[in-house]
Amino acid sequence: MRATTTSSVHTRLRGIAAGTAAAALALGLVPGAAAAQESTSATAVDRTSAPAGEVAVRLKVATDPAVEVAVAPRVWPSRLLEGRGVDVDGNDLLEVVRSGREVTGRDKRVRHGDTVRLVEVEKRRTTRGTPIRAGVVTVPTTELAPGRRKVARQGRAGLRRVVAMRTFHNGEPVKYRVVARTTVREPRPRRVLVGREPWSVPGADGLDWAALAGCESGGNPRAVNAAGYYGLYQFDVATWRSVGGSGLPHHASRGEQTFRAKRLYASRGRSPWPTCGRLL
């Protein structure tokens, strides 16, 4: 990862430009050495001419203005930058453009007129938390009237930690990649009870419940026996509550009474109805 600041990049390029001007003066390329010494800017190398044994190359480092330098022919671009004090690490991209296209491999040895371009690549690792939707779980129940809803437990969102790698080219974001996801807290769904008509009870659905009800109460869901028995199937209060009923049996719907009777049959068979149980 490059830790170079913008000011340090400008400093490096001023050094490149100064070195170029000095080389040009020494070789007699720039008339008027005194004038050159007074100038604070570097003299660009003419792309059509270069000192004997050297070639003119255009050098661009990151977002700084390009400069033209004279270098030995066929030098590797990395050596060119090293010679001018420009640090290049393993993440950076070093490109050579020749005649409008990028070259690769051994062709990257610089030639006259090439453009050497250094793209500073920075990778930043980021960590952030993202919520996990809790969702809703509905639970059918005969404890509520059909269609009625009741929140039995509030939900809570979960939390996920996301680790990502962001890549920047010359300070501009070019890539975002998630490298790890970890659940920090599992979501807890909201639990909602929804009233519905009683459902089936395995082993009891195929029996003749209408016949049993007719025998026990004449098929009247509001039947009350003075001895303490109620509804279609003549439940006493203790038995009714043992199978999940609440209140009094004859206050429940016909469907709920049948459901509770099926649950009673599943646990005790015909014995709760010693006279009429034979009709099941």
CATH number at residue 138: 2.20.230.10
pTM of the model: 0.47
**CA-based nearest residue to 252, from 197, 175, 183:** 197
Residues 112 and 130 in one domain: no
CATH number at residue 257: 1.10.530.10
Q: Based on the structure, what is the number of domains in the chain?
A: 3
Strand partners, 225: 229
> Rounded to 5 degrees, what angle do the CA atoms 162, 170, 106 make?
110
Q: Please report whether residue 226 resides in a domain.
A: yes
How far CA 243 is from CA of 132, 143, 190, 224, in Å, comes to 38, 12, 27, 19
Domain boundary, last residue among 119, 150, 166: 119
Residues 208 and 144 in one domain: no
Query: What is the Cα–Cα distance from 280 to 267, expressed in whole angstroms?
Result: 15
Token code pair at residue 33: 């050495």
Q: Would you write out the chain's pLDDT as a tens digit for each of its 280 residues? A: 443 333 333 444 334 444 443 333 333 333 333 333 333 333 334 444 566 778 898 999 998 899 998 888 898 988 888 888 888 888 899 999 999 898 888 888 989 999 999 999 999 999 999 999 999 999 888 788 878 999 999 999 999 999 999 999 999 999 999 999 999 999 999 999 998 766 678 889 889 999 999 999 999 999 999 999 999 999 999 999 999 898 999 998 888 899 899 999 999 999 999 999 999 9
Q: Please report whether residue 128 resides in a domain.
A: yes
